[in-house]
Amino acid sequence: MNQWYEEYNNDLYQYIFYLIRDHDQAKDLLQDTFLKAYKKYDTFKQDNTKGWLFRIARNVTIDFVRKKHPVSYLMDTLPAKQSHDSAPEKHLALNESEQELYQALGHLKRSYRDVIVLRKIKEFTVSEVADILGWNEQKVRVTLTRALQALKRQLEKEGYEHEAL
């Protein structure tokens, strides 16, 4: 379990942070993810450790949002607020386009944000994303296409133009 923490904690933290945009809460949810994984360790029978942990992190984060932000959850979006107490060095390290991407992602609905982060940013395969989200592969492909179109529109709306999208 310690090896899993060393190997995956940074990726899981970044994923949770993409979803809730709160540094302190993301750290707490990361710990909750590993506690839950530890408790369920004896039932783990898959080869895809990283996918299993990401699925737990997603579920822990959704449970948090349901409890703390029920209106946001019902509107199928996670809060896109900026944390005032997040690590300054993290924000300084982000270049301008990364900050614009964070901001634009925060305006997308949760399913779009999930599929973009998992497939394009974390670079999971379509099959792995389907497993993490509990979807079939076709739904992942269709949702990703729609999500990227929505992200492009959001970035254009915010005045960011980039040919690569």
**Per-10-residue mean pLDDT, the chain, length 165:** 90 90 92 94 82 92 77 42 46 58 84 91 91 95 95 84 47
Under 8 Å between Cβ of 52 and 19 = no
Give the separation between CA 57 and CA 33, rounded to whole angstroms. Answer: 5
pLDDT for the residue numbered 39: 92
Model confidence, pTM: 0.63
> Is 164 part of any domain?
no
Give the separation between CA 77 and CA 75, rounded to whole angstroms. Answer: 6
Total domain count for the chain? 1
> Is 163 part of any domain?
no
Helix 23-39 × helix 49-68 angle, to 10°: 120
Q: How many CB atoms lie within 10 A of CB 163?
A: 4
> Is 20 part of any domain?
yes
Kindly tell me the sign of the dihedral angle through the C-alpha atoms of 134, 3, 125, 110: positive
The CATH number of residue 66's host domain is 1.20.140
Domain residues for 22?
Answer: 2-157
> Is 165 part of any domain?
no
> Is 59 part of any domain?
yes
Task: State the residue for tokens 């990726």.
Answer: 11
> Is 66 part of any domain?
yes
pLDDT for the residue numbered 97: 61
CA torsion, points 30, 35, 37, 41, in degrees to nearest 10? Answer: 160
